[in-house]
C-alpha cells in the first residue's frame, strides 16, 4: 500500500462500502505490522544499550587491569621490545632481499614488454600495409571488371 493512491468504485451516492472497508482493513494491518516492527526495534535498542553498558564496564575493568599489568611489567616489555626489534630487523632484511629480486624481475619483464610492444607496433604497420594493398587490388579489380563490362 505504501504511497499508492486507491481508486474506489463509485456508487450512485458515494463510494462502494466494501472497497472502503477493505482499504481501511489493509491500512490497519499495515499499521499493526509497522507498530510491531517498531516495538521490536525499540526492544532491540534497549538490549543494545544494555550490551553497550556492559561492554563499557568490561572495557573499564580491562583498562584498570592493563594499567596494573603495565606498572608491573616494564622490564618484560623492554625485553620483548628488544626481541621484537631483532625480529623486525630480520624481516626487514628478508624483505629488502625479496624487493631486490622483484626489482630485477620487473626490469627483465619491462624489457620483454618493450620488445613485445615493438613487435605489436611492427605487426600493426604490416597489417595496415597489407590492408592497403588488398584494398587497392580490390579497387583495381573492380575498375577492370567495370571496364570489361563496358567494352
Residue 135 within a domain: no
CA 74 – CA 80 distance, rounded (Å)? 10
Q: Whole domain around residue 48: which residue ranges?
A: 8-72
Report the pLDDT value the prediction gives residue 10, as an integer from 0 to 100. Answer: 59
Report the pLDDT value the prediction gives residue 141, as an integer from 0 to 100. Answer: 87
Q: Which of 62, 86, 82 is nearest to 74 (CA)?
A: 82
Report the pLDDT value the prediction gives residue 5, as an integer from 0 to 100. Answer: 60
Residue 120 within a domain: no
User: What's the structural domain count of the chain?
Assistant: 1
Residue 116 within a domain: no
Q: What is the pLDDT of residues 36-73, one digit of tens each?
A: 999 999 999 999 999 999 999 999 999 998 888 777 77
Residue 110 within a domain: no
CA 62 – CA 40 distance, rounded (Å)? 32
Start-to-end CA span in the chain (Å): 81
Task: Give pairs for 100-105: CB < 8 Å, separation 24+.
Answer: none
Residue 47 within a domain: yes
Q: Which CA distances in Å does 20 have to 9, 23, 33, 73, 149?
A: 9, 5, 20, 77, 84
C-beta of residue 19 within 8 angstroms of C-beta of residue 7: no
Residue 92 within a domain: no
Residue 79 within a domain: no
Residue 43 within a domain: yes
Report the pLDDT value the prediction gives residue 79, as an integer from 0 to 100. Answer: 84
Q: Going residue by residue through the chain (151 aa), what tens digit of pLDDT does each one get?
A: 455 666 655 555 667 788 889 999 999 999 999 999 999 999 999 999 999 999 999 999 999 988 887 777 777 778 888 999 999 999 999 999 999 999 999 899 888 989 989 999 999 999 999 999 999 999 988 888 777 667 6
Amino acid at each position: 500500500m505504501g504511497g499508492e493512491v486507491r481508486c474506489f468504485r463509485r456508487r450512485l451516492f458515494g463510494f462502494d462500502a466494501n472497497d472502503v472497508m477493505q482499504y481501511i482493513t489493509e491500512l490497519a494491518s499495515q499499521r499493526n505490522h509497522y507498530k510491531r516492527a517498531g516495538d521490536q526495534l525499540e526492544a532491540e535498542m534497549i538490549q543494545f544499550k544494555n550490551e553497550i553498558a556492559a561492554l563499557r564496564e568490561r572495557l573499564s575493568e580491562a583498562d584498570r587491569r592493563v594499567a596494573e599489568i603495565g606498572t608491573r611489567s616494564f622490564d618484560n616489555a623492554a625485553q620483548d621490545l628488544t626481541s621484537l626489534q631483532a625480529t623486525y630487523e630480520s624481516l626487514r632484511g628478508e624483505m629488502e632481499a625479496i624487493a631486490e629480486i622483484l626489482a630485477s624481475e620487473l626490469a627483465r619483464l619491462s624489457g620483454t614488454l618493450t620488445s613485445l610492444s615493438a613487435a605489436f607496433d611492427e605487426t600493426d604497420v604490416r597489417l595496415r600495409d597489407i590492408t592497403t594493398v588488398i584494398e587497392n587490388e580490390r579497387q583495381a579489380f573492380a575498375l577492370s571488371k567495370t571496364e570489361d563490362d563496358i567494352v
